[in-house]
Structure 1
Amino acid sequence: MRGSVEEIDMHSGKGSGKMKTITVEQLQQKLKLEVLAGEDQLQRLITHPKAHRPGLEFVGYFDFFPMNRVQVLGRKEITYLHKQSEEERNLHIGNVVKYHPPCFIVTAKQEGLKYLMIYCQQEGIPLLRTEDTTSEFLGKLDAYLVQALAPQIAVHGVCMNISGIGVLLRGKSGIGKSETAHTLIRRGHRLVADDIVVLKKLGPHTLLGTHNETTREFLALRSIGLINVVRLYGRKAFQDETRIVLDILLSSWQDQALNNELELEPSSTEYLGVQIPHIEIQLQPGRDVAGMIEAAANSWYLKQQGYSAAEEFLKRIEEEMK
């Protein structure tokens, strides 16, 4: 059985998973970049999760120029421009700048950029600079852009990290998701999000679970109210994000509905096109739900290592019969 997913309206539309946008200013503040030109153009939008180094474009080849990407100028590009005559340099820069990319970022705190500053100021394109080397900065930039611009949706539920394994807990309101999360936190596991879980698609098979900032560190418990898990239990009780690898639906107890097969048929839930293994746990007074969630997470991990308890059990039976 696979539970239905209740999605929440977000800025990108209900469950649409559309690509987000960020401003150059958000990028500048996040990566602590120095603004050299275009201070009044920092609200320009960035829409593509990959950066580009304009090498071929400086020599006049524009057939595949990704003009909508952040343009990064490393030592190779800047050294090439420095060695050109003023006329050649103006021609090469002008050919790139006229396509109006979101911004230019110079790495390794390179100097002598007055000519580039003039062009960017005239065309209204932000020119930024970092102290990081090109390779270091590209790693940071691509990682940030992929996550910041990832398609995303929000679902009702609780997100936990169980011994390094990301688990999404779902179920009807009042079923006991937050109370179960609290028990798991007391057992040493970490809360990621309560009530509203933001899911981001980072790749064809990678789904990231996080909070929506407003609910960060908060857990809502009926009869108690809001608690801050970090204030109550310390930093070890919370983490900002986790890769979701298991979807668990908490449901009401139904007599004769549970089965005792040695190994259940695989089931999954789809989020943004990513298939996540799914199981259902029925609740009943006295049932150790937190313990079952721990068992489910650990069982998933063992399966990734190639181990199956059912296969081992059947093998033992076969050996005894022989």
Structure 2
Amino acid sequence: MKKITVENLVRKFSLKVMAGENQLGKMITQSRVHRPGLEFVGHFDFFPTERVQILGKKEVTYLHKLSKEERKIRIGNIVHYHPPCFIVTAGAEGLTYLTHHCVEQGIPLLLTNKPETTSEFITKLDAYLVKELAQEIAVHGVCVNVSGIGILLRGNSGVGKSETAHTLIRRGHRLVADDIVVLKKLSPQTILGTHDEKTKEFLALRSIGLLNVVRLYGRKAFQDESRIALDINLTKWEKDALYNDLDQKLQYTDYMGVKIPSMEIQLQPGRDVAGLIEAAANNWYLKQQGYSAAEEFMSRIEADMSNSAGE
């Protein structure tokens, strides 16, 4: 199970530490946050104690309206479960009582500094936690973004993955990762491709060496991450191994339980592999919109046969 610390949140979101400075090493293992509204009124049946607890304007206003003794009981019931931390998004005015509880129980109490709503902050924090805590694997290959579509290029060492990626970059597409691609499972349907930081912006070409695509081609040549929509396996040319079917049977590659549409493209001198990848990406997009070239072609054939039969 992946984990991050409360200190990671403090640094990422520039949070102010109001209590628990010596407890910032506490681990966070859950990828969603929680607003303890029902818990403040005594309902704990479904209290996710391992989640980061967010206190927005509604929660803070409610606490301010309680009597001193009632506040002590309500807050005490929650801190008793020792959540990783509390983050207040509504300002620190009048929260000395909450600070006291967090100091007593050794729970970090944090405060947002930016002028944003609680919902906006939760959206950003949830997205960050989902990515950081996602199940991940590293695969050998290249990840590119072609016309907004994330593609994982695989194949044996030396087959031409990086060279193909370079051609795509020259055509205006973007590199995400070369050599080592980190795949993160964000949901049962979503795989995110990214780099491992060390190889960020770098592309290795045989006979040329290491290139920094941003320095060579500008910021438009690179992006940090991309949702993987297609898995393409580049292989050496084999005579009579490919068939000109009207509609290729859909294949899938399984990554951490997520099935990604996959295909094979064979390499041969003079073959426009980058162009074929562009065509595959655009064709995948059209299929997502409900269009199939093979189906339209067959409908035309059927229509022509019907017209010929009626003459």
Which interval holds the TM-score relative to the shorter structure?
over 0.9
- Does 2:239 correspond to 1:255? yes
2:298 aligned partner: 314
| TM-score where L is the length of structure 2 | 0.95
Is 1:124 the counterpart of 2:106 in the alignment? Answer: yes
Give distance in 2, aligned partners of 1:179 and 1:266: 26
Identity %: 71
Q: 2:74 matched to which residue of 1?
A: 92
1:266 to 2:234 alignment: no
Is the 1:20–1:47 Cα contact (8 Å) retained in structure 2?
Answer: yes
Tell me which residue corresponds to 1:164: 148
Check if 1:70 corresponds to 2:49: no
User: 1:147, CA displacement in angstroms?
Assistant: 1.4
Q: In the alignment, residue 101 of structure 1 is paired with which amino acid?
A: P
For the 8 Å contact 2:42–2:74, the answer to whether it is kept is yes
Residue 105 (1) aligns with residue 87 (2):
yes
Greater displacement, 281-290 / 106-115: 106-115
Question: Distance between the aligned counterparts of 1:298 and 1:20, measured in 2?
Answer: 36
Q: Which moves more between the two structures, 90-99 or 173-182?
A: 90-99
State the shift of 1:61 in Å.
2.2
CA RMSD of aligned residues (A): 1.1
Mapped to 2, the partners of 1:286 and 1:108 lie a distance apart of 63
Partner of 1:211: 195
Look up the match of 1:26. 8
Q: 2:129 aligns with which of 145, 149, 166?
A: 145
SS at match of 1:255: coil
- Cα distance per residue 1:100-157 (max 9 Å; x no partner): 1000000132411111111111211110011432111111111111111111111110
TM norm structure 1? 0.92
* 55-64 or 24-33: bigger deviation: 55-64
Which residue does 1:5 correspond to in 2? none
1:29-68 correspondence to structure 2 within 5 Å:
29-68=11-50
| In the alignment, structure 1 residue 188 sits paired with structure 2 residue 172 | yes
Q: Residue 223 in 1 paired to residue 198 in 2? A: no
CA shift, 1:196, in A, is: 0.7
Tell me how far apart the structure 1 counterparts of residues 213 and 85 of structure 2 sit (CA, whole Å).
40
Aligned residues: 304
Query: How far off is 1:257 after superposition?
Result: 0.6
SS across alignment from 1:111: coil
Is 1:133 matched up with 2:133?
Answer: no
Q: Which residue of 2 aligns with 1:14?
A: none
2:269 paired residue number: 285
Aligned residue for 1:197? 181
Report if the CA contact (8 A) 2:176-2:224 is conserved. Answer: yes
Tell me how far 1:316 sits from its aligned partner: 2.5
Question: What is the distance in 2 between the residues matched to 1:128 and 1:118?
Answer: 13
Question: Where in structure 1 are there 5+ consecutive unaligned residues?
Answer: 1-18
Q: Shift of residue 309 of structure 1?
A: 1.4
What is the alpha-carbon distance in structure 1 between the residues aligned to residue 38 and residue 300 of structure 2?
Answer: 64
Letter in 2 for 1:304: Q
How many angstroms does 1:306 deviate by? Answer: 1.5
Q: Matched residues in 2 for 1:294 and 1:104: separation?
A: 47
The one-letter code of the counterpart of 2:268 is Q
Corresponding residue number in structure 1 for 2:161: 177
What is aligned with 1:10?
none
1:187-212 Cα deviation digits (max 9, x unpaired): 00000000111111111111111111
Aligned partner letter, 2:288: Q
Alpha carbons 1:46, 1:68 under 8 Å: kept: yes
Q: Aligned letter for 2:87?
A: I
Gaps of 5+ in 2: none
State the Cα distance separating 1:62 from its structure 2 match.
1.7
Contact 1:38 1:127 in 2 (8 A): yes
